[in-house]
Structure 1
Amino acid sequence: MANTPKKVLIVDDEPSLRMLVRAVLEDAGWEVFEADSGEKALEIFPSISVHVALVDMRMDGMNGTELMEKLHESEPDLPVIMLTAYGNVGSAVVAMKQGAYDYLTKPADNEELKAVLNKAWEYSRLLDENARLKSAATDNVRMIGNSRGMLQVKELVDQAGPSEATILILGESGTGKELVAEGLHRASPRADKPLVKVNCAALPADLLESELFGYVKGAFTGAATNKPGRFQLASGGTLFLDEIGEMDPVLQAKILRALQEKIVEPLGSVSPVETDVRIIAATNRDLKAEVEKGNFREDLYYRLSVLEIQIPPLRERTDDIPLLVSFLLEKLGKKNNKKVRTVSPAFLESLTRYDWPGNVRELENVLERAVILSRSERLGPDLLPPQIVSGSTPRTPTVQEPRQPQNTGTGDKSASLDDAEKQALIAALEANNSHRERTAEALGISRRTLQYKLKKYGLTRRS
């Protein structure tokens, strides 16, 4: 899709507006299709393939909202942008709740027009890419993301998966270390054998030892039968040691022996048992630092880190968030018996500007909460927890906000707030040389919201 022209359908009964928009968009590289009514748009729509529709709210015959519903019947994910007069913004907002991607007020600013359509095209591109990922028969389809960091991870998985090398996966909690381990196992010749997982932080040292190596009958009180350990259960396959940085040093020595000699000794047994497993380990700790502190054996570290795979935190690959959201929405919708198709631009913007200390695991929890609370097929920012919304604004504003006038207790409070907002807009415009995009970014609002507020306070380019 990225190598094909961006295509838009313009539906408006004003020939002059269609001509103007066509000129602006064709100059920006778009392929433009036109219709002068909703009925005409439905007539030509099956024969064209467009990425975005730009639809007038008020037309003779079928109106914009009715046309959007018809278009979505045949192509549910088509981004539809509404064109509306300045005085009818409320109707456009209602249309967004019914499934419109965004709206523009007439006459639309040329730069804003191109910016909004480009965002809608990118949204359409991401949906197509996510569909491709879901249908692709690849081992690593669950490692969602096309950011540079994730592409490097996928490449390492593809290269190292078929080998017998011991691999150490590094990354913060919630980044998906277990998914990478699964990808490595599926890409290996051992894929038809077991992948056995052990969380080394979940059990105390003595219980972990019996889980890993097993025990024989009578080894300790309560050992009524022989029990094979995880090494034996993973025979011929892969043993994934998660959070290995938490392992007791005494047990580390036994793991090292199992790696070097390929044998384990069940508790209470005098006969070692041969093992045939590939070890994949993971940790959120800096093992080099732990070695220097004496908390982790240096020889075991070098045994484990034949190849290291570093998974980037979510805050360093925010470009992957739209893909992750699309993938997780389908999964969570099925899990919670909810039909949720998409999210609003404001919802997605909040997600991409939050730091995500809990990484993908936190993102999934936030999305599941929103899916459970949703009453429509589209998630809005009202469904986000307060910390996500408050954390979505820049920590250090690029312009200094003007002092708000003190409320003396007299006069109209709403007028005072409006005046303060107007002064803030003026100060931000001056600080950014009237550049609309930089001003919107400095204020932590979208360009569309800035355009609305400038019109509200009469702060046009001319004024």
Structure 2
Amino acid sequence: MTRSARPAILLVDDEPHSLASMRMALEDDFDILTADSADQAMTLLREEWVQVIFCDQRMPGRTGVQFLTEVRESWPEIVRIIVTGYTDPGDMAEAINAAGIYQFLTKPWHPDQLLMAARNAADLFAMTREHERLSLEMKHLGTTAETKLEKRRRDLRERQGFDAILRSPQSRMNAVVEMARQYASFDISVLLSGEAGTGKQELARAMHHASLRAEKPFLALNCAGLPDELLELELFGARRGAVPGLATNRIGLLQKADRGTLYLGGVESLSAKMQMALMRVLREGAFLPLGGHEAIRSNLRLICGLTGDLRALMAEGRLRTDLGYAISAGEITVPPLRGRRGDVAILATACLFDAASLHGKQVRGFDDVALGFLENYDWPGNLRELENEVTRMLIFAQDPLLGADLISRHILQADPGEDGADRALDPILTREGTLKDRVELVEMRILRETLTRHRWNKSRAAAELGLSRVGLRAKIERYGIDDPSGANATEEED
């Protein structure tokens, strides 16, 4: 099959002089192919690229309509024109229905009339092909756009999901994330307990994006320090005029989070009134906006954050027992940063590059000494304190590689703290691991506590613990316990 830059027209007629006349009228503008029968025309169509057919109606064997009907079945894009001396309405209707005839050209035809019909037919063929091309492109673009949209959604879910919780392969957070992943697929209320700044809201967001509610809103509110009036407005919303200065209706978070997830942090700070109101929402699945007269239903998932111990708060009467159990169908304890030693370097580096991108400053990272100091600090302010320290280091950095000289003095000089969940025995007694591993953790903490209390006088520490000085030194080396002040330890006795 060959193709030409000019449109190709096939002329089909059993009269030689008719073929010659049509060729003469059209050959200046088109490539012309001729056939004196339907069979010969079919052979040409299988070998040549044809845009338009002019076919005589009355031919031996098959009529023009019969031939063009076959053409329509095999090459529907070809524009088909009948040349006939008869214009019976019945024949015309049959031709249009059966063969999809574009135009009837009556004999005798004028050369200009024939040429105009050919040009219009060729233009129609070109436009039809262009329309098909554009339709395919639009379909492809639509599919591509959907694919890109789905990819963006997937990337967003990954960035906001569990993959966004940075941690090392040996991190304590791995068990926390696995537990959260299990709870995420079950539509129940979950309580996240842990110190302030440990990333409870980020974990709640990750659970939302791993749940069946992922396509719906995730909203968050920290209740700590907010007065009841503001909390009511934020959670329940208000009708116009219900609050001084409110000129329009205010939609609350309970309504905005419908079919999505609402995270409430600091629930231990809720007043008795707000605890009762929240309990009513959980029990009835509906709430009344301020100044409203009709309850609004909301199908939301509630994830709460708590600073403190749930059962202690309920025992002390600071948290309603029914509310405490209602918000804790699932419970997850988020460890403090000082209990995630292997994660600090990863988190600090991520904070550094985020801050560098935000402030437009080029950095390469931290040197090993700086990372060592950051890893060994207890971070009582958890992730927020780490982010602040890294940003401060970035501000004062003169070189792309940040060194320990940029670290705040209180971090460089700090002794390991003795407060917090990781210093208590409960996490060790309840965590996973062999008996040997868990006993060694207890032993390491006792050694560190005793050495710190005796200001790293090894003789005094050994005497209290009933160890020889050689035995104490061996344990210090075994556990890699270092004096955080950097001073040389003494073994002198009083």
What is the TM-score when the length of structure 2 is the normalising length? 0.54
Alpha-carbon contact 1:340-1:376 (below 8 Å) kept: yes
Q: 1:386 to 1:236 in 2, by over 3 A?
A: same
Name the SS for the 2:164 alignment partner: coil
Give the C-alpha shift of residue 276 in structure 1.
Answer: 1.1
Give the C-alpha shift of residue 397 in structure 1.
Answer: 6.3
Aligned to 1:142: 164
Give the C-alpha shift of residue 401 in structure 1.
Answer: 7.4
The one-character-per-residue Cα deviations of 1:370-403 (angstroms, maximum 9, x if unpaired) are 111111111111101111000157734685279x
Alpha-carbon contact 1:197-1:239 (below 8 Å) kept: yes
The structure whose Rg is larger is 2
TM alignment of 1:62-81, pairs within 5 A: none
* Residue 226 of structure 2 is aligned to residue 169 of structure 1: no
Q: Distance in 1 between matches of 2:311 and 2:475?
A: 48
* Residue 460 of structure 2 is aligned to residue 400 of structure 1: no
Aligned to 1:253: 276
Give the C-alpha shift of residue 218 in structure 1.
Answer: 2.6
TM alignment of 1:364-443, pairs within 5 A: 364-391=387-414, 395-396=452-453, 400=457
The one-character-per-residue Cα deviations of 1:141-176 (angstroms, maximum 9, x if unpaired) are 221113442011110121111221101110101110
Residue 400 of structure 1 aligns to which amino acid in structure 2? N
Q: 1:292 to 1:337 in 2, by over 3 A?
A: same
Aligned to 1:294: 317
Give the C-alpha shift of residue 137 in structure 1.
Answer: 7.2
The one-character-per-residue Cα deviations of 1:16-71 (angstroms, maximum 9, x if unpaired) are xxxxxxxxxxxxxxxxxxxxxxxxxxxxxxxxxxxxxxxxxxxxxxxxxxxxxxxx
Residue 255 of structure 1 aligns to which amino acid in structure 2? L
Q: Distance in 2 between matches of 1:153 and 1:383?
A: 33
Aligned to 1:458: none
Q: Distance in 1 between matches of 2:301 and 2:356?
A: 36
Unaligned runs of 5+ in 2: 1-154, 417-447, 460-468, 489-494
Alpha-carbon contact 2:413-2:485 (below 8 Å) kept: no
Alpha-carbon contact 2:414-2:484 (below 8 Å) kept: no
* Residue 342 of structure 2 is aligned to residue 319 of structure 1: yes
Q: 1:159 to 1:233 in 2, by over 3 A?
A: same
Q: 1:347 to 1:288 in 2, by over 3 A?
A: same
Alpha-carbon contact 1:397-1:443 (below 8 Å) kept: no
Q: Distance in 1 between matches of 2:190 and 2:229?
A: 25
Residue 267 of structure 1 aligns to which amino acid in structure 2? L
Alpha-carbon contact 2:286-2:298 (below 8 Å) kept: yes
What is the TM-score when the length of structure 1 is the normalising length? 0.57
Alpha-carbon contact 1:157-1:187 (below 8 Å) kept: no
Aligned to 2:19: none
Give the C-alpha shift of residue 219 in structure 1.
Answer: 2.0
Q: 1:377 to 1:293 in 2, by over 3 A?
A: same
Q: 1:293 to 1:392 in 2, by over 3 A?
A: closer
* Residue 257 of structure 2 is aligned to residue 200 of structure 1: no
Residue 352 of structure 2 aligns to which amino acid in structure 1? L
* Residue 262 of structure 2 is aligned to residue 239 of structure 1: yes
Aligned to 2:430: none
Q: 1:399 to 1:170 in 2, by over 3 A?
A: closer
Provide the alpha-carbon RMSD of the alignment: 3.3
Identity percentage over the alignment?
34
* Residue 385 of structure 2 is aligned to residue 362 of structure 1: yes
Give the C-alpha shift of residue 440 in structure 1.
Answer: 8.8
Stretches (4+) displaced over 6 A: 429-436
Alpha-carbon contact 1:432-1:438 (below 8 Å) kept: no
Give the C-alpha shift of residue 445 in structure 1.
Answer: 8.6
Name the SS for the 1:141 alignment partner: helix
Give the C-alpha shift of residue 320 in structure 1.
Answer: 1.1
